[in-house]
A and B are shown apart, each in its own frame.
Chain A
Amino acid sequence: MSITVRIPTVLRSATGGAATISATGSTIGEILAQLASDHPGVQPQLFNEDGTLHKFLNVYVNDDDVRYLGGLQAPVADGDEVTLLPAVAGGFA
């Protein structure tokens, strides 16, 4: 079981410059936990302190946003591509 994870530019300093990383697991939660375990610098960008997915990170399995697929429980399968992109958000409040 191998999943390709695409790392956004702003997280590459924490992954030794790697733009893609291979991971194994059956859910998004397992994939991201492995990523954080292998590259501790990304942990605070992926997860809130309570272990939930960081609000300002978009996570996609192939073309789909995981928030519509069950969040950290979203299933992944061999050959899937997971993309991480920081949310582009801001404003007055």
Chain B
Amino acid sequence: MLTLTSEQRDAMVAHCIRNLPNEGCGLLVGSDDGVISQVVPSANVADSARVYEIEPKVLLRTFRAADDSGEVVAGCFHSHTHSDAYPSPTDIAQAPDPSWHYVLVSLRVTPPVLRSYRIVDGDVTEETVTIR
């Protein structure tokens, strides 16, 4: 389960909308059990409407800050501009961490749809998103 505040959910959606026509992306910091304390928006260094890559400097800074504060980088989010909020084959193949929460924001529909997944050895499982 992923636990967000409504402000965090809105911040992810707003960042993805600002990045149109490209995919938007960022990181999620929080606890091991999926309670998110911080949404960290990133530039999409792939600069593309079809693929994304988190800015490497943002990645380093976020990992260090999480280590220092006793938190973890718990996952990431990105948008699909013209498809559903479900991980693409590339998303699944490149998912680096089985402990992560992978949030997808679909901007194909209005209002945007946000869903979260666990990706373990190529198996995708949707999880509940709780707004606290």
Interface residues of A (CB under 8 A from B): 8-10, 56, 58, 60, 63, 65, 67, 83, 85-93
Contact = CB atoms under 8 A, between A and B. Distances in A.
Closest 5 CB pairs of A and B: A91-B51, A86-B96, A90-B91, A89-B53, A88-B54
A58 B90 contact: no
B60 A89 contact: no
A89 B80 contact: no
B107 to A, nearest CB: 13
B53 to A, nearest CB: 4
A36 B77 CA distance: 31
Given A65-B56, A65-B57, A90 B97 contact: no
B60 A85 contact: yes
Interface bin, chain B: 20 to 34
Interface of B: 23, 25, 27, 46, 48, 50-54, 56-57, 59-60, 63, 76, 78, 80, 83, 87-88, 90-91, 94-99
B52 A91 contact: yes
B50 A90 contact: no
Instruction: Output the residue of A8, A85, A89 with the most chain B CB within 10 A.
Output: A89
Contacts of B78: 90-91
Given A86-B96, A93-B50, 13 more contacts: A8-B96, A9-B97, A10-B96, A56-B94, A58-B56, A58-B59, A63-B57, A88-B25, A88-B59, A90-B88, A90-B90, A91-B88, A91-B90
16 contacts: A8-B96, A58-B56, A58-B60, A65-B60, A85-B56, A85-B59, A88-B59, A88-B96, A89-B52, A89-B94, A90-B94, A91-B90, A92-B50, A92-B90, A93-B50, A93-B51
